[in-house]
Amino acid sequence: MTTATNPILCAEDPLIDMVYITTYTGMTDKWFYKLIQDGRFPKPIKLGRSSRWYKSEVQSWMQQAIADSRGS
Per residue in 30-46, pLDDT (tens digit) is 999 999 999 999 999 99
Reference 35, options 56, 55, 58, 16; nearest CA is 58
- Contact assessment for residue 15 and residue 45, using Cβ atoms and an 8 Å cutoff: yes
pLDDT of residue 3: 46
pLDDT of residue 29: 97
pLDDT band at 2 (very low <50, low <70, confident <90, very high): very low
Q: What CATH number should be reported for the domain whose range is 15-69?
A: 1.10.238
Banded model confidence at residue 6, pLDDT cuts 50, 70, 90: low
Instruction: Give the residue extent of every domain in the chain.
Output: 15-69
Angle at 42 between CA 65 and CA 56, to 5 degrees: 75
Which pTM value belongs to this model?
A: 0.80
CA angle, residues 54, 59, 63, in degrees to nearest 5: 150
Instruction: Name the band, by pLDDT with cuts 50, 70 and 90, for residue 23.
Output: very high
